[in-house]
Structure 1
Amino acid sequence: MQHIILLHGALGSKDQMKPLAVELENKFQVHSFNFSGHGGRPFADTAFSIPLFAEQIAQYMHETGIAQAYIFGYSMGGYAAMYLAKHHPEKVNKLITLATKFHWDEKTAAQEVKMLNGKTIQEKVPAFAAQLQQRHAPNDWLSLLHKTSELLIDLGKQNALQLEDYTTITTPSLLLLGDRDKMVTLDETIAVYKQLPKAQLGVIPGTPHALEQANVALLAQLIKGFINEKA
């Protein structure tokens, strides 16, 4: 069977990929792992960055003996996979992203960082705070928020991938976006789609940003259709 790696987003974990993995396991050998600091995996010695997470994908592939794989990346996972495709194209057969935010500047980063205030989360959405604590134990979820905020601020100052960088990424890519996504805009997704030499674009109806609210069966169908498509 061919390998497919499923990548979670910021503040997520590999456990969120289980429903999708079930939909794909009859066609692929499905893999998933936690980025550092997520899902109980220890924090790395260095600050969070897209290059760091891309290197962790490559490290996972090396450790599991995977020379090349299909990759599905949700949100931040999609961005890390795209960075890997630029710098190590030989590792990525085809790439599918969902709800990946490609455009970052200081204003955008500041808006997103406001959503990562631990005290506010504890006061206004305590159920989410409890979920984060459970998902990332034994790590301190507040530390994870802080490190993620630093990542976004750094992206706002210097985006890991500039728009012109996508012209050199020749990996066949499918960019998916939910039509109810309030974090990622259609305009920024189309802008990247137009730069990629071998890209397709899909908008999924009735779908917000949260992966848990996506139609997993439909998502799996889109992934399988794209991978099985002849070049």
Structure 2
Amino acid sequence: MNKQVCEGTTIYYADEGKGDNVIVLLHGFCGSSAYWDDVIPLLSPHYRCIVPDLRGHGQSDAPKGAYSMEEMADDVLNLLQALDIAKASLFGHSMGGYIALSAVQRHPERFNAFGLIHSTAHEDTEEGKEKRLKAVSTIETEGITAFVDGMVPGLFAPQHLDSMADKVIKAKELGYATPPQGAVGAALAMRSRPDRRDVLTAAPLPVLLAAGEHDQVVPAARTFTADKPNIRQSVIGGAGHMSMMEAPRELAEVIKGFLVFAAV
């Protein structure tokens, strides 16, 4: 892992592959850049892959207090600037998709294309906002391990809990390593994020919307909220919320096919 201080925040990141075409992969809540371990080798022969540990996660700094999607997006933008990357294609998994939307909304000129992977442009429902507060309470009173043990099984398609037990364990172990204050800060950032469906409808950039066939966290209907000629919708068969672990080859092919469609 490499590291870069971005406006006072230290961000760790993987930098794999070479070339002028750069893709940035953002992980989800209580994950890390290691979520993409099975996908990076499939993309790096064709693209330079920048894969950060987001603020509050992995080895990156985890300040105390509530975060915002804008702060987390600015970390990514500052990292790209520090690496002298003028433009990239940005893909965000789950929470990473919320961060991608913030970055693209404010700085579309910095990107060639972007994608939401098991994510949505909707804001949290009222029920969802209550669940965020419950998550914060669980982390603060019972600890990050208890919270992750309750969260991770629901990320995978039910049939994969046994057949991919090793990947379920890996997702849990990455979650256990999340600093509790980082998980709390990120949960509050997700709770306060606005509806950004207008970013999809107004975006002049090519957009990928990828959903898992058996996603129990973000169903396809909440991912596929826009349909325009510049938007490509893909369903990853058999996958739950974690296609980067459950179906890495299929996800990599979806991303590569989209980038051909986007002429990147």
The verdict on how the C-alpha distance between 1:42 and 1:59 changes in structure 2, with shifts beyond 3 A counting, is same
Deviating beyond 6 angstroms after TM superposition, the runs of 4 or more aligned structure 1 residues are 126-129
Residue equivalent to 2:16: none
What is the CA–CA distance in structure 1 between the aligned matches of 2:229 and 2:126, rounded to whole Å?
A: 28
What is the CA–CA distance in structure 2 between the aligned matches of 1:63 and 1:121, rounded to whole Å?
A: 32
Deviation at 1:180, TM superposition (A): 0.6
Q: Which amino acid aligns with 2:111?
A: V
What is the CA–CA distance in structure 2 between the aligned matches of 1:197 and 1:212, rounded to whole Å?
A: 26
> 5 Å matches for 1:47-196?
47-103=66-122, 104-115=124-135, 117-118=138-139, 119=142, 122-123=145-146, 125=149, 131-133=174-176, 135-136=177-178, 141-155=179-193, 159=194, 161-191=195-225, 193-194=226-227
Q: Secondary structure at the match of 1:95?
A: strand
TM-score normalized by the length of structure 2 = 0.74
What is the CA–CA distance in structure 2 between the aligned matches of 1:113 and 1:49, rounded to whole Å?
A: 15
What is the root-mean-square deviation in Å for CA atoms of aligned residues?
2.5
Deviation at 1:97, TM superposition (A): 1.9
Residue 216 of structure 2 is aligned to residue 216 of structure 1? no
Deviation at 1:111, TM superposition (A): 3.0
The verdict on how the C-alpha distance between 1:78 and 1:22 changes in structure 2, with shifts beyond 3 A counting, is same
Deviation at 1:170, TM superposition (A): 1.5
Unpaired runs of at least 5, structure 1? none
The verdict on how the C-alpha distance between 1:16 and 1:213 changes in structure 2, with shifts beyond 3 A counting, is closer
Q: How many residues align?
A: 220
Residue equivalent to 1:199: 231
TM-score normalized by the length of structure 1 = 0.84
Q: Percent identity?
A: 24
The verdict on how the C-alpha distance between 1:179 and 1:39 changes in structure 2, with shifts beyond 3 A counting, is same
Q: Secondary structure at the match of 1:220?
A: helix
- Asked if the contact 1:101–1:183 (Cα under 8 Å) also holds between the matched residues in 2, the reply is no
- Asked if the contact 1:174–1:200 (Cα under 8 Å) also holds between the matched residues in 2, the reply is yes
The verdict on how the C-alpha distance between 1:77 and 1:152 changes in structure 2, with shifts beyond 3 A counting, is closer
Q: Secondary structure at the match of 1:30?
A: strand
What is the CA–CA distance in structure 1 between the aligned matches of 2:185 and 2:245, rounded to whole Å?
A: 26
- For each residue in 1:84-142, what CA deviation from the matched residue of structure 2 results, as whole angstroms up to 9, or x when unmatched? 11211111101122111332232222235435623276458397775433x33xxxx32
The verdict on how the C-alpha distance between 1:115 and 1:146 changes in structure 2, with shifts beyond 3 A counting, is closer
